[in-house]
Structure 1
Protein backbone atom coordinates (compact mmCIF):
# COMPACT_ATOMS: atom_id res chain seq x y z
CA UNK A 1 0.00 0.00 0.00
CA UNK A 2 1.18 3.52 -0.70
CA UNK A 3 1.18 6.15 2.03
CA UNK A 4 -1.86 7.77 0.41
CA UNK A 5 -3.76 4.48 0.38
CA UNK A 6 -2.86 3.83 3.99
CA UNK A 7 -3.95 7.34 4.97
CA UNK A 8 -7.28 6.81 3.20
CA UNK A 9 -7.83 3.62 5.17
CA UNK A 10 -6.97 5.41 8.43
CA UNK A 11 -9.53 8.11 7.63
CA UNK A 12 -12.11 5.44 6.85
CA UNK A 13 -11.78 3.89 10.31
CA UNK A 14 -11.04 7.12 12.21
CA UNK A 15 -7.51 6.16 13.21
CA UNK A 16 -4.95 8.82 14.06
CA UNK A 17 -2.40 6.86 16.09
CA UNK A 18 1.11 5.82 15.24
CA UNK A 19 2.17 3.18 12.76
CA UNK A 20 4.57 1.11 14.88
CA UNK A 21 3.77 -2.63 14.52
CA UNK A 22 2.93 -3.17 18.19
CA UNK A 23 0.14 -4.99 19.98
CA UNK A 24 -1.40 -1.66 20.97
CA UNK A 25 -1.57 -0.51 17.33
CA UNK A 26 -3.03 -3.86 16.26
CA UNK A 27 -5.71 -3.66 18.96
CA UNK A 28 -6.69 -0.11 18.02
CA UNK A 29 -6.85 -0.84 14.29
CA UNK A 30 -8.81 -4.05 14.85
CA UNK A 31 -11.43 -2.33 17.01
CA UNK A 32 -11.84 0.66 14.72
CA UNK A 33 -12.12 -1.51 11.61
CA UNK A 34 -14.95 -3.55 13.18
CA UNK A 35 -16.69 -0.35 14.27
CA UNK A 36 -16.39 1.41 10.91
CA UNK A 37 -16.40 -1.03 7.99
CA UNK A 38 -19.61 -3.08 8.01
CA UNK A 39 -20.05 -6.68 7.07
CA UNK A 40 -22.39 -7.02 4.07
CA UNK A 41 -23.11 -9.25 1.07
CA UNK A 42 -24.89 -6.93 -1.35
CA UNK A 43 -22.66 -7.78 -4.32
CA UNK A 44 -23.58 -11.52 -4.37
CA UNK A 45 -27.27 -10.65 -3.95
CA UNK A 46 -27.08 -8.24 -6.88
CA UNK A 47 -25.21 -10.74 -9.06
CA UNK A 48 -22.07 -8.58 -9.02
CA UNK A 49 -18.56 -10.01 -8.71
CA UNK A 50 -16.61 -9.95 -5.45
CA UNK A 51 -13.04 -9.11 -6.40
CA UNK A 52 -10.11 -9.75 -4.07
CA UNK A 53 -7.28 -7.81 -5.70
CA UNK A 54 -6.01 -4.95 -3.55
CA UNK A 55 -7.19 -2.16 -5.87
CA UNK A 56 -10.76 -3.50 -5.81
CA UNK A 57 -10.73 -3.94 -2.03
CA UNK A 58 -9.46 -0.40 -1.50
CA UNK A 59 -11.99 1.06 -3.93
CA UNK A 60 -15.02 -0.72 -2.48
CA UNK A 61 -14.36 -0.80 1.28
CA UNK A 62 -12.43 2.45 1.63
CA UNK A 63 -13.29 4.92 -1.14
CA UNK A 64 -16.88 3.88 -1.85
CA UNK A 65 -17.89 3.52 1.81
CA UNK A 66 -19.10 -0.03 1.29
CA UNK A 67 -18.54 -3.11 3.42
CA UNK A 68 -17.85 -6.72 2.57
CA UNK A 69 -17.53 -10.21 3.94
CA UNK A 70 -14.57 -12.14 5.35
CA UNK A 71 -12.54 -12.47 2.14
CA UNK A 72 -12.67 -8.75 1.52
CA UNK A 73 -12.43 -7.57 5.12
CA UNK A 74 -9.51 -9.70 6.23
CA UNK A 75 -7.54 -9.45 3.00
CA UNK A 76 -7.76 -5.65 3.19
CA UNK A 77 -6.72 -5.80 6.84
CA UNK A 78 -3.81 -8.06 5.89
CA UNK A 79 -2.59 -5.49 3.34
CA UNK A 80 -2.76 -2.77 6.00
CA UNK A 81 -0.89 -4.79 8.61
CA UNK A 82 1.84 -5.86 6.20
CA UNK A 83 2.31 -2.25 5.11
CA UNK A 84 2.94 -1.33 8.74
CA UNK A 85 5.56 -4.05 9.14
CA UNK A 86 3.58 -6.84 10.81
CA UNK A 87 4.26 -10.49 10.00
CA UNK A 88 0.87 -11.80 8.84
CA UNK A 89 -0.22 -15.21 7.59
CA UNK A 90 -3.61 -15.88 6.03
CA UNK A 91 -5.48 -18.93 7.37
CA UNK A 92 -8.84 -20.53 6.60
CA UNK A 93 -11.61 -22.01 8.74
CA UNK A 94 -14.77 -24.08 8.53
CA UNK A 95 -17.76 -22.31 10.06
CA UNK A 96 -19.69 -24.25 12.74
CA UNK A 97 -21.75 -21.32 14.09
CA UNK A 98 -25.41 -22.37 14.42
CA UNK A 99 -24.71 -25.77 12.89
CA UNK A 100 -24.88 -29.34 14.25
CA UNK A 101 -21.53 -30.31 15.82
CA UNK A 102 -21.15 -33.34 13.56
CA UNK A 103 -21.67 -31.40 10.32
CA UNK A 104 -18.64 -31.13 8.01
CA UNK A 105 -18.19 -27.64 6.62
CA UNK A 106 -15.87 -26.32 3.89
CA UNK A 107 -13.07 -23.93 4.75
CA UNK A 108 -14.72 -20.79 3.44
CA UNK A 109 -13.81 -18.35 6.21
CA UNK A 110 -10.66 -16.20 6.22
CA UNK A 111 -8.71 -15.24 9.35
CA UNK A 112 -5.23 -13.94 10.07
CA UNK A 113 -2.29 -15.00 12.21
CA UNK A 114 -0.22 -12.02 13.32
CA UNK A 115 3.21 -12.80 14.82
CA UNK A 116 4.36 -10.33 17.47
CA UNK A 117 7.42 -10.41 19.71
CA UNK A 118 5.46 -12.15 22.46
CA UNK A 119 4.06 -14.82 20.11
CA UNK A 120 1.25 -15.36 17.60
CA UNK A 121 -2.13 -13.62 17.75
CA UNK A 122 -5.40 -14.23 15.93
CA UNK A 123 -7.03 -11.32 14.08
CA UNK A 124 -10.40 -11.50 12.33
CA UNK A 125 -12.44 -8.46 11.29
CA UNK A 126 -14.81 -10.39 9.02
CA UNK A 127 -17.06 -12.83 10.90
CA UNK A 128 -20.26 -10.87 10.58
CA UNK A 129 -22.50 -10.47 13.60
CA UNK A 130 -20.06 -12.19 15.93
CA UNK A 131 -16.76 -10.88 14.59
CA UNK A 132 -13.88 -10.26 16.96
CA UNK A 133 -13.47 -6.60 17.89
CA UNK A 134 -9.93 -7.15 19.10
CA UNK A 135 -7.16 -9.69 18.45
CA UNK A 136 -6.70 -12.62 20.82
CA UNK A 137 -3.58 -14.57 21.67
CA UNK A 138 -3.23 -17.78 19.66
CA UNK A 139 -3.28 -19.91 22.80
CA UNK A 140 -5.73 -22.65 23.76
CA UNK A 141 -7.86 -22.90 26.91
CA UNK A 142 -7.50 -19.28 28.00
CA UNK A 143 -10.50 -16.97 28.31
CA UNK A 144 -9.61 -13.70 26.61
CA UNK A 145 -11.37 -10.35 26.83
CA UNK A 146 -12.15 -8.19 23.80
CA UNK A 147 -13.95 -4.81 23.59
CA UNK A 148 -17.15 -6.90 23.26
CA UNK A 149 -17.56 -10.52 24.41
CA UNK A 150 -14.95 -12.87 25.90
CA UNK A 151 -13.51 -15.44 23.48
CA UNK A 152 -11.41 -18.57 23.83
CA UNK A 153 -9.65 -21.13 21.68
CA UNK A 154 -9.96 -24.85 22.39
CA UNK A 155 -8.07 -27.73 20.84
CA UNK A 156 -10.19 -30.09 18.79
CA UNK A 157 -9.86 -33.74 19.82
CA UNK A 158 -7.21 -35.77 17.98
CA UNK A 159 -6.49 -33.08 15.41
CA UNK A 160 -4.29 -30.06 14.85
CA UNK A 161 -7.32 -27.77 14.73
CA UNK A 162 -8.44 -24.99 17.03
CA UNK A 163 -12.07 -24.04 17.64
CA UNK A 164 -12.90 -20.41 18.30
CA UNK A 165 -15.71 -19.90 20.83
CA UNK A 166 -17.49 -16.80 22.12
CA UNK A 167 -19.27 -16.43 25.44
CA UNK A 168 -22.78 -15.23 24.64
CA UNK A 169 -25.18 -14.68 27.54
CA UNK A 170 -23.21 -17.03 29.78
CA UNK A 171 -22.84 -19.85 27.24
CA UNK A 172 -19.77 -20.69 25.18
CA UNK A 173 -20.78 -20.94 21.51
CA UNK A 174 -18.51 -22.37 18.77
CA UNK A 175 -17.85 -20.14 15.76
CA UNK A 176 -15.35 -21.91 13.50
CA UNK A 177 -12.50 -24.43 13.35
CA UNK A 178 -9.13 -23.85 11.75
CA UNK A 179 -5.53 -25.00 11.62
CA UNK A 180 -2.32 -23.09 10.98
CA UNK A 181 -1.68 -24.05 7.36
CA UNK A 182 -0.91 -20.88 5.38
CA UNK A 183 -3.29 -20.02 2.55
CA UNK A 184 -2.51 -18.42 -0.80
CA UNK A 185 -4.61 -15.91 -2.68
CA UNK A 186 -5.53 -18.61 -5.22
CA UNK A 187 -6.99 -20.69 -2.36
CA UNK A 188 -9.11 -17.75 -1.32
CA UNK A 189 -10.20 -17.07 -4.89
CA UNK A 190 -11.72 -20.56 -5.12
CA UNK A 191 -13.63 -20.25 -1.83
CA UNK A 192 -14.73 -16.71 -2.63
CA UNK A 193 -16.10 -17.77 -6.01
CA UNK A 194 -18.07 -20.56 -4.35
CA UNK A 195 -19.68 -18.50 -1.59
CA UNK A 196 -20.48 -15.57 -3.89
CA UNK A 197 -22.00 -17.56 -6.78
CA UNK A 198 -23.20 -21.01 -5.70
CA UNK A 199 -27.02 -21.09 -5.65
CA UNK A 200 -27.12 -22.72 -2.20
CA UNK A 201 -24.68 -20.27 -0.61
CA UNK A 202 -26.16 -18.17 2.18
CA UNK A 203 -24.47 -15.13 0.68
CA UNK A 204 -26.50 -15.55 -2.51
CA UNK A 205 -29.80 -16.41 -0.81
CA UNK A 206 -30.27 -13.82 1.93
CA UNK A 207 -29.25 -10.31 2.99
CA UNK A 208 -26.70 -10.15 5.81
CA UNK A 209 -25.16 -7.04 7.32
CA UNK A 210 -23.63 -6.16 10.67
CA UNK A 211 -21.45 -3.68 12.51
CA UNK A 212 -19.96 -3.60 16.01
CA UNK A 213 -19.81 -0.08 17.45
CA UNK A 214 -18.81 0.53 21.05
CA UNK A 215 -21.22 -1.10 23.49
CA UNK A 216 -23.43 -3.07 21.10
CA UNK A 217 -23.77 -5.02 17.87
CA UNK A 218 -26.13 -4.35 14.98
CA UNK A 219 -27.18 -7.27 12.79
CA UNK A 220 -29.53 -7.42 9.83
CA UNK A 221 -30.75 -10.69 8.37
CA UNK A 222 -33.11 -10.14 5.46
CA UNK A 223 -35.74 -7.78 6.91
CA UNK A 224 -35.05 -8.45 10.61
CA UNK A 225 -32.92 -5.81 12.34
CA UNK A 226 -31.45 -6.65 15.77
CA UNK A 227 -29.64 -4.49 18.29
CA UNK A 228 -27.57 -6.45 20.83
CA UNK A 229 -26.39 -4.18 23.66
CA UNK A 230 -23.57 -5.60 25.74
CA UNK A 231 -25.00 -6.98 28.96
CA UNK A 232 -28.58 -6.14 27.96
CA UNK A 233 -31.57 -7.64 26.21
CA UNK A 234 -31.60 -7.76 22.42
CA UNK A 235 -34.19 -5.78 20.51
CA UNK A 236 -35.54 -6.91 17.13
CA UNK A 237 -37.65 -5.14 14.56
CA UNK A 238 -39.11 -6.26 11.26
CA UNK A 239 -38.52 -3.82 8.41
CA UNK A 240 -41.62 -4.00 6.24
CA UNK A 241 -40.74 -1.53 3.49
CA UNK A 242 -37.86 -0.87 1.14
CA UNK A 243 -37.52 2.60 2.69
CA UNK A 244 -37.03 1.12 6.17
CA UNK A 245 -34.47 -1.36 4.83
CA UNK A 246 -32.56 1.37 3.04
CA UNK A 247 -32.50 3.52 6.19
CA UNK A 248 -31.25 0.60 8.29
CA UNK A 249 -28.49 -0.21 5.82
CA UNK A 250 -27.32 3.40 5.53
CA UNK A 251 -28.05 4.97 8.93
CA UNK A 252 -27.57 2.00 11.29
CA UNK A 253 -25.15 -0.27 9.46
CA UNK A 254 -23.26 2.63 7.87
CA UNK A 255 -23.21 1.33 4.30
CA UNK A 256 -23.08 3.61 1.28
CA UNK A 257 -25.38 1.62 -0.99
CA UNK A 258 -24.22 0.75 -4.50
CA UNK A 259 -25.79 2.47 -7.47
CA UNK A 260 -27.58 0.61 -10.20
CA UNK A 261 -31.05 -0.51 -11.28
CA UNK A 262 -31.07 -3.67 -9.15
CA UNK A 263 -30.91 -2.08 -5.70
CA UNK A 264 -34.52 -0.95 -5.27
CA UNK A 265 -36.08 -4.21 -6.56
CA UNK A 266 -33.81 -6.16 -4.19
CA UNK A 267 -34.90 -4.12 -1.17
CA UNK A 268 -38.56 -4.35 -2.14
CA UNK A 269 -38.32 -8.14 -2.48
CA UNK A 270 -36.61 -8.58 0.88
CA UNK A 271 -39.01 -6.22 2.67
CA UNK A 272 -42.03 -8.11 1.32
CA UNK A 273 -40.81 -11.52 2.49
CA UNK A 274 -41.82 -13.18 5.74
CA UNK A 275 -39.40 -12.26 8.53
CA UNK A 276 -36.83 -14.97 9.32
CA UNK A 277 -37.48 -17.19 12.37
CA UNK A 278 -35.87 -16.04 15.60
Structure 2
Protein backbone atom coordinates (compact mmCIF):
# COMPACT_ATOMS: atom_id res chain seq x y z
CA UNK A 1 0.00 0.00 0.00
CA UNK A 2 1.33 3.42 -0.97
CA UNK A 3 0.20 5.05 2.28
CA UNK A 4 2.68 2.90 4.21
CA UNK A 5 5.71 4.00 2.13
CA UNK A 6 7.94 6.73 3.57
CA UNK A 7 8.58 7.97 0.03
CA UNK A 8 4.86 8.76 -0.20
CA UNK A 9 4.56 10.40 3.21
CA UNK A 10 3.92 14.09 3.74
CA UNK A 11 6.96 16.06 4.83
CA UNK A 12 6.10 18.13 7.95
CA UNK A 13 8.81 20.68 7.12
CA UNK A 14 7.27 21.68 3.79
CA UNK A 15 3.54 21.79 4.50
CA UNK A 16 3.52 25.47 3.49
CA UNK A 17 5.78 25.01 0.47
CA UNK A 18 3.51 27.11 -1.74
CA UNK A 19 3.81 30.08 0.64
CA UNK A 20 7.60 30.01 0.96
CA UNK A 21 9.93 32.44 -0.78
CA UNK A 22 12.09 31.06 -3.55
CA UNK A 23 15.17 31.23 -1.33
CA UNK A 24 13.39 29.41 1.51
CA UNK A 25 12.31 26.66 -0.91
CA UNK A 26 15.92 26.26 -2.02
CA UNK A 27 17.16 26.21 1.57
CA UNK A 28 14.74 23.49 2.65
CA UNK A 29 15.51 21.40 -0.43
CA UNK A 30 19.22 21.71 0.31
CA UNK A 31 18.67 20.70 3.94
CA UNK A 32 16.48 17.75 3.02
CA UNK A 33 19.07 16.47 0.53
CA UNK A 34 21.36 15.75 3.47
CA UNK A 35 19.20 12.72 4.23
CA UNK A 36 20.16 11.28 0.85
CA UNK A 37 23.83 11.36 1.85
CA UNK A 38 23.08 9.73 5.19
CA UNK A 39 20.92 7.04 3.61
CA UNK A 40 23.72 6.09 1.22
CA UNK A 41 26.32 6.02 3.99
CA UNK A 42 24.23 3.59 6.01
CA UNK A 43 24.06 1.18 3.07
CA UNK A 44 27.77 1.16 2.17
CA UNK A 45 28.26 -2.50 3.24
CA UNK A 46 25.49 -3.61 0.89
CA UNK A 47 26.75 -1.35 -1.88
CA UNK A 48 30.15 -3.03 -1.49
CA UNK A 49 28.48 -6.42 -2.02
CA UNK A 50 26.83 -5.11 -5.19
CA UNK A 51 30.19 -3.88 -6.51
CA UNK A 52 31.80 -7.27 -5.87
CA UNK A 53 29.01 -9.05 -7.75
CA UNK A 54 29.47 -6.65 -10.66
CA UNK A 55 33.23 -7.16 -10.75
CA UNK A 56 32.68 -10.92 -10.76
CA UNK A 57 30.32 -10.58 -13.71
CA UNK A 58 32.78 -8.45 -15.67
CA UNK A 59 35.61 -10.91 -15.05
CA UNK A 60 33.37 -13.70 -16.38
CA UNK A 61 32.52 -11.71 -19.54
CA UNK A 62 29.13 -10.89 -18.06
CA UNK A 63 27.23 -7.62 -18.07
CA UNK A 64 25.81 -5.10 -15.63
CA UNK A 65 22.11 -4.59 -16.37
CA UNK A 66 20.13 -1.79 -14.73
CA UNK A 67 16.35 -2.26 -14.77
CA UNK A 68 13.80 0.36 -13.72
CA UNK A 69 10.72 2.39 -14.58
CA UNK A 70 10.23 6.14 -14.75
CA UNK A 71 12.89 8.19 -12.96
CA UNK A 72 14.62 5.08 -11.63
CA UNK A 73 14.87 3.61 -15.12
CA UNK A 74 16.20 6.86 -16.55
CA UNK A 75 18.91 6.99 -13.89
CA UNK A 76 20.00 3.49 -14.85
CA UNK A 77 20.17 4.39 -18.53
CA UNK A 78 22.12 7.55 -17.72
CA UNK A 79 24.76 5.66 -15.75
CA UNK A 80 25.02 2.97 -18.40
CA UNK A 81 25.58 5.28 -21.36
CA UNK A 82 28.23 7.27 -19.49
CA UNK A 83 30.35 4.13 -19.02
CA UNK A 84 31.17 4.00 -22.75
CA UNK A 85 33.12 7.29 -23.03
CA UNK A 86 34.39 7.24 -19.43
CA UNK A 87 35.74 3.72 -19.28
CA UNK A 88 36.00 2.68 -22.92
CA UNK A 89 33.45 -0.11 -22.50
CA UNK A 90 31.36 -1.62 -25.26
CA UNK A 91 27.69 -0.48 -25.07
CA UNK A 92 26.59 -4.03 -24.22
CA UNK A 93 28.77 -4.27 -21.11
CA UNK A 94 26.66 -1.89 -19.02
CA UNK A 95 23.04 -1.55 -20.09
CA UNK A 96 20.04 0.37 -18.88
CA UNK A 97 16.65 -1.20 -19.53
CA UNK A 98 13.49 0.67 -18.67
CA UNK A 99 9.80 -0.04 -18.78
CA UNK A 100 8.41 1.20 -22.08
CA UNK A 101 11.76 1.14 -23.88
CA UNK A 102 13.97 4.06 -24.85
CA UNK A 103 10.96 6.15 -25.88
CA UNK A 104 10.06 6.29 -22.19
CA UNK A 105 13.26 8.26 -21.54
CA UNK A 106 11.57 11.44 -22.72
CA UNK A 107 7.89 10.52 -22.78
CA UNK A 108 6.05 8.91 -19.87
CA UNK A 109 4.86 5.39 -20.69
CA UNK A 110 1.78 4.85 -18.56
CA UNK A 111 0.94 1.39 -17.26
CA UNK A 112 4.07 -0.45 -18.37
CA UNK A 113 5.65 -0.30 -14.92
CA UNK A 114 2.77 -2.44 -13.62
CA UNK A 115 3.53 -5.25 -16.06
CA UNK A 116 5.54 -7.92 -14.23
CA UNK A 117 5.83 -10.14 -17.29
CA UNK A 118 7.24 -7.30 -19.38
CA UNK A 119 10.17 -6.99 -16.98
CA UNK A 120 11.02 -10.65 -17.48
CA UNK A 121 10.56 -10.44 -21.24
CA UNK A 122 12.90 -7.46 -21.57
CA UNK A 123 15.65 -9.55 -19.96
CA UNK A 124 14.82 -12.55 -22.13
CA UNK A 125 15.29 -10.33 -25.17
CA UNK A 126 18.92 -9.62 -24.25
CA UNK A 127 19.65 -13.31 -23.57
CA UNK A 128 20.36 -12.82 -19.88
CA UNK A 129 22.87 -15.34 -18.52
CA UNK A 130 24.17 -16.50 -15.15
CA UNK A 131 27.29 -14.37 -15.71
CA UNK A 132 25.28 -11.13 -15.63
CA UNK A 133 24.40 -8.88 -12.70
CA UNK A 134 20.92 -7.35 -12.72
CA UNK A 135 20.27 -4.29 -10.58
CA UNK A 136 16.60 -3.46 -10.11
CA UNK A 137 15.90 0.18 -9.21
CA UNK A 138 12.60 1.45 -7.80
CA UNK A 139 12.12 4.17 -5.20
CA UNK A 140 8.91 2.57 -3.92
CA UNK A 141 10.49 -0.87 -3.86
CA UNK A 142 7.30 -2.40 -5.17
CA UNK A 143 7.27 -1.77 -8.95
CA UNK A 144 5.94 -4.95 -10.66
CA UNK A 145 8.04 -4.45 -13.81
CA UNK A 146 11.25 -4.44 -11.76
CA UNK A 147 10.16 -7.33 -9.54
CA UNK A 148 9.36 -9.37 -12.65
CA UNK A 149 12.84 -8.66 -14.01
CA UNK A 150 14.56 -9.65 -10.77
CA UNK A 151 12.40 -12.76 -10.54
CA UNK A 152 13.49 -13.84 -14.02
CA UNK A 153 17.13 -12.99 -13.27
CA UNK A 154 17.01 -15.28 -10.25
CA UNK A 155 15.60 -18.08 -12.39
CA UNK A 156 18.58 -17.65 -14.74
CA UNK A 157 20.97 -17.71 -11.76
CA UNK A 158 22.21 -14.21 -12.54
CA UNK A 159 23.43 -12.05 -9.66
CA UNK A 160 20.65 -9.76 -8.44
CA UNK A 161 20.62 -6.46 -6.54
CA UNK A 162 17.61 -4.37 -5.54
CA UNK A 163 17.83 -0.64 -4.87
CA UNK A 164 14.81 0.91 -3.20
CA UNK A 165 14.10 3.89 -0.96
CA UNK A 166 11.87 2.26 1.64
CA UNK A 167 12.62 -0.03 4.57
CA UNK A 168 11.58 -3.67 4.15
CA UNK A 169 10.66 -3.03 0.52
CA UNK A 170 8.82 -5.83 -1.30
CA UNK A 171 11.52 -5.78 -3.98
CA UNK A 172 14.27 -6.54 -1.45
CA UNK A 173 13.11 -10.16 -1.27
CA UNK A 174 14.10 -10.61 -4.93
CA UNK A 175 17.68 -9.34 -4.70
CA UNK A 176 20.59 -11.42 -3.41
CA UNK A 177 21.76 -8.00 -2.20
CA UNK A 178 19.15 -5.51 -1.00
CA UNK A 179 20.07 -1.82 -0.81
CA UNK A 180 17.43 0.21 1.02
CA UNK A 181 18.02 3.95 0.93
CA UNK A 182 15.60 5.38 3.47
CA UNK A 183 15.53 9.02 2.38
CA UNK A 184 12.17 9.84 3.98
CA UNK A 185 9.34 12.07 2.85
CA UNK A 186 10.01 14.27 -0.15
CA UNK A 187 9.86 18.07 -0.15
CA UNK A 188 7.11 17.71 -2.75
CA UNK A 189 4.96 14.83 -1.57
CA UNK A 190 5.58 11.66 -3.55
CA UNK A 191 8.05 13.26 -5.99
CA UNK A 192 10.75 10.60 -5.80
CA UNK A 193 12.83 12.28 -8.50
CA UNK A 194 14.07 14.44 -5.61
CA UNK A 195 15.84 12.92 -2.55
CA UNK A 196 15.16 9.32 -3.55
CA UNK A 197 16.45 9.91 -7.07
CA UNK A 198 19.53 11.72 -5.74
CA UNK A 199 20.39 8.81 -3.44
CA UNK A 200 19.84 6.27 -6.23
CA UNK A 201 22.13 8.22 -8.56
CA UNK A 202 24.86 8.31 -5.90
CA UNK A 203 24.69 4.54 -5.52
CA UNK A 204 24.81 3.89 -9.27
CA UNK A 205 27.84 6.19 -9.50
CA UNK A 206 29.51 4.17 -6.77
CA UNK A 207 28.73 0.76 -8.24
CA UNK A 208 29.86 1.47 -11.80
CA UNK A 209 32.93 3.50 -10.81
CA UNK A 210 34.20 1.10 -8.13
CA UNK A 211 33.56 -1.89 -10.40
CA UNK A 212 35.54 -0.29 -13.22
CA UNK A 213 38.41 0.38 -10.82
CA UNK A 214 38.17 -3.29 -9.90
CA UNK A 215 38.78 -4.45 -13.47
CA UNK A 216 41.68 -2.11 -14.28
CA UNK A 217 39.88 0.72 -16.03
CA UNK A 218 41.55 3.28 -13.73
CA UNK A 219 45.20 4.05 -12.91
CA UNK A 220 45.80 6.22 -9.83
CA UNK A 221 42.69 8.39 -10.15
CA UNK A 222 42.78 8.83 -13.90
CA UNK A 223 40.49 7.50 -16.61
CA UNK A 224 42.93 5.48 -18.69
CA UNK A 225 40.49 3.57 -20.89
CA UNK A 226 38.40 6.50 -22.03
CA UNK A 227 37.37 6.62 -25.67
CA UNK A 228 38.60 9.87 -27.28
CA UNK A 229 35.54 10.38 -29.44
CA UNK A 230 35.62 14.19 -29.47
CA UNK A 231 38.08 17.07 -29.08
CA UNK A 232 37.54 17.36 -25.34
CA UNK A 233 38.27 13.67 -24.75
CA UNK A 234 41.28 13.77 -27.08
CA UNK A 235 42.78 16.57 -25.04
CA UNK A 236 41.87 14.88 -21.75
CA UNK A 237 43.67 11.74 -22.93
CA UNK A 238 46.85 13.71 -23.61
CA UNK A 239 46.61 15.60 -20.31
CA UNK A 240 46.24 12.32 -18.45
CA UNK A 241 49.39 11.00 -20.14
CA UNK A 242 51.24 14.20 -19.20
CA UNK A 243 50.09 14.11 -15.57
CA UNK A 244 50.96 10.45 -15.06
CA UNK A 245 54.32 10.39 -16.84
CA UNK A 246 55.56 13.96 -16.38
CA UNK A 247 56.25 14.50 -20.10
CA UNK A 248 55.43 17.69 -22.01
CA UNK A 249 52.47 18.10 -24.36
CA UNK A 250 54.39 17.34 -27.54
CA UNK A 251 55.82 14.12 -26.12
CA UNK A 252 52.41 13.06 -24.82
CA UNK A 253 50.91 13.73 -28.24
CA UNK A 254 53.66 11.73 -29.97
CA UNK A 255 53.15 8.68 -27.77
CA UNK A 256 49.39 9.03 -27.97
CA UNK A 257 49.69 8.62 -31.72
CA UNK A 258 52.23 5.78 -31.40
CA UNK A 259 49.89 3.98 -28.99
CA UNK A 260 47.03 4.23 -31.51
CA UNK A 261 45.09 6.47 -29.13
CA UNK A 262 45.32 4.02 -26.21
CA UNK A 263 46.16 5.96 -23.05
CA UNK A 264 47.21 2.87 -21.08
CA UNK A 265 49.62 1.77 -23.79
CA UNK A 266 51.11 5.27 -24.11
CA UNK A 267 51.75 5.44 -20.36
CA UNK A 268 53.58 2.11 -20.33
CA UNK A 269 55.59 2.97 -23.45
CA UNK A 270 56.79 6.20 -21.85
CA UNK A 271 57.46 4.96 -18.31
CA UNK A 272 59.21 1.76 -19.43
CA UNK A 273 60.61 3.15 -22.67
CA UNK A 274 59.33 0.07 -24.46
CA UNK A 275 57.75 -0.68 -27.82
CA UNK A 276 54.05 -0.64 -28.62
CA UNK A 277 54.07 -4.44 -28.85
CA UNK A 278 55.69 -4.89 -25.43
CA UNK A 279 53.30 -2.42 -23.79
CA UNK A 280 50.31 -4.25 -25.24
CA UNK A 281 51.73 -7.61 -24.15
CA UNK A 282 52.35 -6.38 -20.61
CA UNK A 283 48.78 -5.15 -20.37
CA UNK A 284 47.39 -8.42 -21.66
CA UNK A 285 49.39 -10.37 -19.07
CA UNK A 286 48.26 -7.96 -16.33
CA UNK A 287 44.52 -8.23 -17.04
CA UNK A 288 44.50 -4.60 -18.16
CA UNK A 289 45.86 -3.16 -14.89
CA UNK A 290 48.47 -0.48 -15.61
CA UNK A 291 50.04 -0.74 -12.15
CA UNK A 292 50.60 -4.46 -12.57
CA UNK A 293 51.94 -4.01 -16.09
CA UNK A 294 54.50 -1.49 -14.86
CA UNK A 295 55.64 -3.81 -12.06
CA UNK A 296 56.36 -6.81 -14.28
Q: TM-score range by the shorter chain?
A: under 0.3
Point out the structure with max Rg over C-alpha.
2
TM-score for both structures, normalised by structure 1? 0.26
TM-score for both structures, normalised by structure 2? 0.25
More strand by share: 1
